[in-house]
Amino acid sequence: MQLSDLLRLDGVKVIGAATSKKRLFHDLGAMALDSFDLSQTDVVDALLDREALGPTGVGHGVALPHARLPGLDKVCGLFVRLEKPLDFDSVDRQPVDLVFALFAPEAAGAEHLKALALVSRTMRDADVCAKLRANTDPDTLHSILTEVHATQAA
Query: Is residue 66 flagged as an active site residue?
Result: yes
Taking each helix axis from N to C terminus, what angle separates 126-133 and 110-124, rounded to the nearest 10 degrees?
Answer: 70
Q: What is the pLDDT of residue 149?
A: 55
Q: Could you tell me the pLDDT band of residue 152, with boundaries at 50, 70 and 90?
A: very low
What are the structural domains, with CATH classification, of the chain?
Answer: 3-153 (3.40.930.10)
pLDDT of 147 strictly over 70: yes
Task: Give me the phi and psi of 55, to 5 degrees please.
Answer: -65, 145
Catalytic position from the list 66, 112, 142, 149? 66
pLDDT band at residue 96 using 50, 70 and 90 as cut-offs: very high
Q: pLDDT tens digit string along 34-64? A: 999 889 999 999 999 999 888 888 889 999 9
CA–CA dist 140, 154 (Å, integer): 21
- pLDDT over 90 for what percent of the chain? 57
Number of residues in the chain:
154
Q: What does the DSSP assignment read for 5-34?
A: HHEEEEEEEEEEE-SSHHHHHHHHHHHHHH
